[in-house]
Amino acid sequence: MVTDDEILMPGYNCVRRDRQRKADGGVAIYCRDSVVPGDFNIDFSVGRRNANSSQKRLLKEITELHDLKQVIESPTFVTEHSEFLIDLCFTKKITESDVIDPGLSDHSLVYCVMKSGRYRAPPKTIQFRSYKNYNRDPFVSELRQVAESHAPIRTSRVRGFSIPWLNSHVTDLMNKCNNHLKKAKGNKSSIHWRLYRDLRNKVSHSIKKAKSDYYTNLIIDSSKSSAKDFWRAFKQTLPSSKTSSRITNLLADGALLTSAQSIASTFNTYFVNVGKFLVEKIVPEPSSRLSKVGSILISADDIPLDNVDS
């Protein structure tokens, strides 16, 4: 049995009636607006009387009542001895219609082309801001006044960089420790000094524990993702070796140099002539009688000439 999904045409409503006494056959009509095509199984051939003339007359009355016209003129079911126009198309607006035989069935395919008109979307209401009379300077001034009244600007001193392992427990101990130190310095009380020393030890222990917990969890979590993340996290546990190598001032020949150009020029002069200075300090003056090798002095009289050929 053919299901409705197999013969469904998008945009059309299908009305079907299957043949009851056989496994195949039946009629189907597709409806959309003012177009009604389908296999009506009623012969609309011109000038022919047939057994279903009463059904033909009834169908024409119904379609004419709705101002519909049958536009297919060629036979759609042809046999060796007869031909019938039973695949019909009723519509109001039509520009072209014809019959095509695709070879898929004993019924030909009918089609029609109609003008549906351009679709006009229904209007809708929108909201927008009109910048016809917009003036930037008064707008910004008023906006700043409103912002200042509801969210005024405040100045606060914050840490230059964040410390990831510093938690609220450590900061609370630090604050208590500093408070007892201020009191101990103020009233010279031994009680506050003792409390300060105890809290100082607790702060030191809490900092070590907070660092250990933070970096341990960081390494464990990063090891679960990738090797790159693991080594990036592990590198954070190592002491930083970055030192500033920028020279801002230089003392040369009793003068203090501060500009980058003068400092660079002084270094350039030094390194250009450093080779000559080293040669003058290391290589001694040549001597006609003495040769210096290391720290041993040898004269010409000390060299034996017994085994030397004349």
Are 62 and 107 within 8 A, CB to CB?
no
Q: Can you tell me the distance from the alpha carbon of 193 to that of 302, in angstroms, rounded to the nearest whole number? A: 82
Please answer whether residues 41 and 51 qualify as being in contact, where contact means their C-beta atoms are separated by less than 8 angstroms.
no
- The residue assigned the tokens 């009851």 is 20
CA distance 46 to 13: 29
Residue 167: half-sphere exposure toward Cβ, Cα within 13 Å: 11
pLDDT of residue 29: 75
What is the per-residue pLDDT across 238-270, written as a single tens digit (0 to 9) for each? 776 665 567 777 777 767 778 888 888 888 888
**How distant, in Å, are the alpha carbons of 106, 248, 249, 253 from that of 266?**
105, 13, 11, 10
How many C-beta atoms surround the C-beta of residue 80 within 10 A? 5
> What are phi and psi for residue 84, nearest 5 degrees?
-135, 150
> Phi and psi dihedrals of 85, rounded to 5?
-110, 90
For the chain, what is the radius of gyration of the CA atoms? 53
Q: DSSP states of 34-61 as a string? A: TEEEEE------TT---TTHHHHHHHHH
Q: Is the pLDDT of residue 190 over 90?
A: no
The pLDDT assigned to 83 comes to: 86
CA geometry: angle 120, 123, 128, nearest 5 deg: 135
Interatomic CA distance for residues 103 and 201, integer angstroms: 98
pLDDT digits (tens, 9 = 90+) for 41-99: 888 887 666 656 788 888 888 888 888 888 888 888 888 788 888 888 888 777 788 88
Question: Per residue in 111-120, is it b (16+ CB within 10 Å) or e — as a string?
Answer: ebebeeeeee
Cα 190 from Cα 167, distance rounded (Å): 30
Instruction: Give the separation between CA 310 and CA 290, rounded to whole angstroms.
Output: 23
pLDDT at 290: 44
What tokens were used for 160?
A: 């230059």
Quote the pLDDT of residue 67: 82
- How far, in Å, CA of 65 to CA of 58, rounded? 11
pTM for this structure? 0.32
Question: Which pLDDT score is estimated for 288?
Answer: 45
In this structure, the strands spanning 96-100 and 77-78 are unpaired
For 95-99, 174-178, 183-187, 279-283, which range has the lowest pLDDT when averaged over its residues? 279-283
Contacts of 1 (CB under 8 A, 6+ apart): 18
- Average pLDDT in the 1-29 region? 75
Q: Which amino acid is at 250?
A: L
- Taking every pair of Cα atoms in the chain, the longest distance, rounded to a whole number of angstroms, is 158
Tokens of 107: 């019924």
Distance between CA atoms of residues 110 and 138, nearest Å = 70
DSSP code of 107?
B
- Tokens in use for 220? 């464990």
Please provide the average confidence, as pLDDT, over all residues in the chain: 79
Residue 71's contacts (CB-CB under 8 Å, 6 or more residues apart) are 89, 90, 91, 94, 97, 112
